[in-house]
Amino acid sequence: MSVPLESELRLAASILNEAKKPVILAGAGALGARDELLEVAEKLGAPVVKALLGKAVIPDEHPLSLGGIGMLGTTPAVNAMDDCDAIFIVGSSFPYVKYLPDPDKCVGVQIDDQPDRIGLRFPVRAGLVGDARATLQALSPYIERKDDHSFLEKCQSGMEDWWQLMETQGTSDETPIKPQRVAWELTDLADTDAIISGDSGTNTIWCARQFRLRGDQKFSCSGTMASMASGLPYAIAAQLAYPSRQSIAFVGDGGFSMLMADFVTAVKYNLPITVVIIKNNVLGQIKWEQIVFLGNPQYVVELEEIDFAKFAESCGGVGFTVRAPEELTPTLREALSSHRPAIVEVYTDPHEPPMPPKVELWQAKNFAEALVRGQREGGEIALTMFKDKLNEVIGK
């Protein structure tokens, strides 16, 4: 495998060694380089922020992990990007540059196996073209071990608060069921080498945040979140590629209904996938983009209700319906242990907002404008947001 020249490695190391507050951004190109990435991160005292397709690079609850970046990311990751003085991009071409550091205040180093991606999203002073694992191995001897971990410890303190918030959201007993709870409980039931396939929509946010990837689990989805319906075919492909491992699709009702006929393929070939459907009878992400990005009331996003459990049975699989929080764990466990193509539809709160890591003024302004312009069930939405914030404060 290709690795950069020694002079290039020394330059990159000198930049990272001089940094007081380095951050690592790891993407899909860093998959398979976990040990090497962690070795460098530990020496630098650098927290690791992950692009969505790099979610499995290191476990979500690892002490160095700050979770995801961007709209689906964590508040500590946003803060780290704002505060860092060096960013080390490993195997990522994360496209949303507004979530990256200010290049006037931060120096960049990047590893990528494609030379045209070096500096594509962020200007770098040292670009290392090569395989991520081999390049990190070659770079590590030049990295000095830092004694000052104050920046890392600040980030870790923020993550402790973040996980408390995620647990509060993920253990809510409210009905309709909070979608966060579905992902939170699924975490504890999935095998440590399970393969999780996400879709595009608000469901992706709950999976990105509340599903705590661990062990040798894999995760994938449509990386730019622009292609709905990917979850089911991804899960089928994963089961074919890894027949001895659990394959779980975590999807929304909108995305699933666009390609639901593919479930017949899983039945035809006896692929024991489990499809978990966040059912709220609305195109949730589009709804919230209309409200928050445009300041308009929702329109043309409502879905006709489908009985997905009966659909599963009519195809020759097994189907389950969950309406109450206490039904979640036993039903998910039954579906996962059925060893048959299974669908679990979970009725969830359609008013639960996919909150960004940090609310910006323009987002709040647009939300208020949408309410004034006649957003349907605006009172229920506002009440849901108020109750969510109250629960955050009291930790329930």
Find the CATH number of the domain harbouring 48.
3.40.50.1220
Give the H/E segment covering residue 22: strand 22-26
Q: Are 256 and 203 in contact (CB under 8 A)?
A: no
DSSP category for residue 293: I
Provide the domain limits for residue 280: 171-394
pLDDT tens for 284-307 read: 888 888 888 788 888 899 999 999
Q: Distance from CA of residue 351 to its chain's centroid?
A: 21
Give how many domains the chain has, as a whole number. 2
- Tokens at residue 250, please? 């975590």
Phi, psi of 359, deg, nearest 5: -80, 125
Q: Is the same domain home to 197 and 90?
A: no
Q: Are 70 and 94 in contact (CB under 8 A)?
A: yes
Tell me how far apart the alpha carbons of residues 302 and 298 are, in angstroms, rounded to a whole number: 9
pLDDT for 58 beyond 60: yes
Phi, psi of 283, deg, nearest 5: -80, 90
Tell me, yes or no, whether 310 lies in a domain. yes
Tell me, yes or no, whether 165 lies in a domain. no
What's the chain's average pLDDT? 94
Give the H/E segment covering residue 319: strand 318-322
Q: Is the same domain home to 184 and 302?
A: yes
Cis preceding linkage at 176, omega within 30? yes
pLDDT tens for 314-361 read: 999 999 999 999 999 999 999 999 999 999 999 999 999 888 888 888
Tell me how far apart the alpha carbons of residues 375 and 360 are, in angstroms, rounded to a whole number: 20
- Tokens at residue 316, please? 């020759």
Domain boundary among 135, 158, 181: 158
pLDDT for 382 beyond 80: no
Q: SS3 helix, strand, coil % of the chain, rounded to 5?
A: 45, 15, 40
